[in-house]
Amino acid sequence: MLRLAVAALLLANAGYYAWTQGFLAQFGLAPEEQSEPQRMNQQIRPETLQILRVNPSKPSAPPPAPAAAPPAPTGSQSAAPAPADATAAAAADTAECLQAGVFDDRQAEALRTAAAAGLPAGSWVMDPTPIPGRWMVYMGRFDDIETLDRKRAELRARKVDHDRAGGTLEFGLSLGRFSTKDAAERELASLNTRGVRTARVIQERPDSPGFTLRLPSVNDALRARLDTLRTAMAGKTLRTCA
């Protein structure tokens, strides 16, 4: 029975091979041949193709609008600074603050008179500046110039600096001038250790009121008028404000 099944399978395979190879074509048994155009027609299927047309009534999207140009500058923005403004700025750049002093009461009064007569109102001011007192390590007052000279020789031998006291303190010697009494007394103590015994501390000048002339904004026009103050300045000169 198994042999019959195997034989039938072999015969079936042989028959299929003969059919596919065209050996049975003479008996009208052969597979249908397909040409290349026929296969292409089956693949392409032209009857299923559709041609799409653009609808002319629907406008295409417009191109994006260009960016807006910046607004043109107005007349007030583009106009150059007025000549008057430029002149004022240049004058402000060259202005400087000047001052002179310190002046005592008498000198300050003379200077006020000269400034009021020769300078514009508001261009100057007198600032109170108290003049501190001054203290001296003093030796004297000697009876005559001969005694003074002997004391000077003694101080030179001890290598002690000194000078003439001057004014109402003649005939006398100054061994140092100081802005405070404490500083003068410290110097006197130091001199005592060097053999100076007859010196003492005195107040050469008491505290007194003083004034400083200040011109806050001196430009070229005002600078040309400052010569009117020369006589009242008592030998002092103007300098840049501190």
Domains of the chain with CATH codes: 94-130+209-240 (3.30.70.120), 134-205 (3.30.70)
Q: What is the pLDDT of residue 84?
A: 56
Q: Which long-range contacts does 176-182 make (Cβ < 8 Å, 24+ apart)?
A: 176/136, 176/137, 177/134, 177/135, 177/136, 177/204, 178/134, 178/135, 178/136, 178/137, 179/132, 179/133, 179/134, 179/135, 180/135, 181/135
What string of pLDDT tens digits covers the 242 residues of the chain? Answer: 677 777 777 787 777 776 677 666 666 666 665 555 555 555 555 555 565 565 555 555 555 555 555 555 554 454 455 555 555 555 555 899 999 999 999 999 999 999 999 999 999 999 999 998 999 999 999 999 999 999 999 999 999 999 999 999 999 999 999 999 999 999 999 999 999 999 999 999 999 999 999 999 999 999 999 999 999 999 999 999 98
Q: What is the pLDDT of residue 50?
A: 60
**Integer Cα distance of 190 and 122 in angstroms:** 51
The strand order across the sheet containing 134-140 reads: 163-164, 172-178, 134-140, 200-205
**Integer Cα distance of 171 and 233 in angstroms:** 31
pTM of the entire predicted model: 0.47
C-alpha closest to that of 170 among 191, 142, 149, 150: 142
Q: What is the pLDDT of residue 223?
A: 94
Q: What is the pLDDT of residue 17?
A: 73
Q: Tell me whether strands 239-240 and 96-103 are parallel, antiparallel or unpaired.
A: antiparallel
